[in-house]
Amino acid sequence: MGRTFLVTGGAGFIGSNYAHYLQQHHPDYRMVIYDKLTYAGNLDNLKDILADHRSAFIQADICDAESVRQAIRQYGVDTIVNFAAESHVDRSILDAEAFIKTGVYGTYVLLEAAREFELRYHQVSTDEVYGDVPLGSSLETDPLCPNSPYSASKASGDLMVRAYHVTYGLNTTITRGSNTFGPYQYPEKVLPVFITNAIDDEALPMYGDGQQVRDWLYVMDHCSGIDLVVHRGLTGEAYNIGGDNERRNLDITLLILEMLGKPSRLIHFVQDRPGHDRRYSVDSRKLIDLGWQRSQDFVADLQTTLRWYSNNEWWWRKIKSGAYREYYQRQYGQRAVLGTYP
190 binds ligand NAD per the rule CB under 6 A: no
The answer to whether the CB of 158 falls within 8 A of the CB of 144 is: yes
Closer residue to ligand NAD, CB minimum distance, 177 or 210: 177
127 binds ligand DAU per the rule CB under 6 A: yes
Among 33, 49, 68, 193, binds ligand DAU (CB under 6 A): 193
193 binds, among ligand NAD, ligand DAU, none (CB under 5 to 8 A by kind): ligand DAU
131 binds ligand NAD per the rule CB under 6 A: no
268 binds, among ligand NAD, ligand DAU, none (CB under 5 to 8 A by kind): none
Among 31, 46, 63, 193, binds ligand NAD (CB under 6 A): 63
154 binds ligand NAD per the rule CB under 6 A: yes
Please tell me which residue in 90, 128, 221, 227 is annotated as part of the active site. Answer: 128
Would you give the binding string for ligand DAU spanning residues 275-294, x where CB under 6 A is met? Answer: -----x--------------
With contacts defined by CB under 6 A, name the span among 55-63, 71-79, 124-132, 238-246 that binds ligand DAU. 124-132
Specify whether 39 is catalytic.
no
The least CB distance from residue 177 to ligand DAU, in Å, is 6
Apex 163 CA angle, 83 and 36, nearest 5: 25
Cβ-Cβ contacts under 8 Å for 49 (sequence gap 6 or more)? 16, 19, 20, 23, 31, 33, 55
Please tell me which residue in 150, 186, 218, 280 is annotated as part of the active site. Answer: 150
83 binds ligand DAU per the rule CB under 6 A: no
CA distances from residue 300 to 189, 223, 257 in whole angstroms, order as listed: 20, 18, 15
CA distances from residue 48 to 45, 52, 220, 277, 309 in whole angstroms, order as listed: 8, 7, 17, 38, 18
Q: Which segments of the chain does DSSP mark as H helices, in order?
A: 13-25, 47-50, 65-75, 89-94, 97-100, 107-117, 149-168, 190-199, 219-232, 249-260, 285-290, 298-311, 313-319, 323-332
Closer residue to ligand DAU, CB minimum distance, 102 or 178: 178
Specify whether 128 is catalytic.
yes
Please tell me which residue in 127, 188, 244, 277 is annotated as part of the active site. Answer: 127
109 binds ligand NAD per the rule CB under 6 A: no
Give me the DSSP letters along 167-200: HH---EEEEEE--EESTT--TTSHHHHHHHHHHT
86 binds ligand DAU per the rule CB under 6 A: no
Binding region for ligand NAD (CB under 6 A): 8-9, 11-15, 35-38, 40-41, 61-63, 83-87, 102, 106, 124, 126, 154, 177, 179-180, 186
Q: Which residues are marked as active site?
A: 127-128, 150
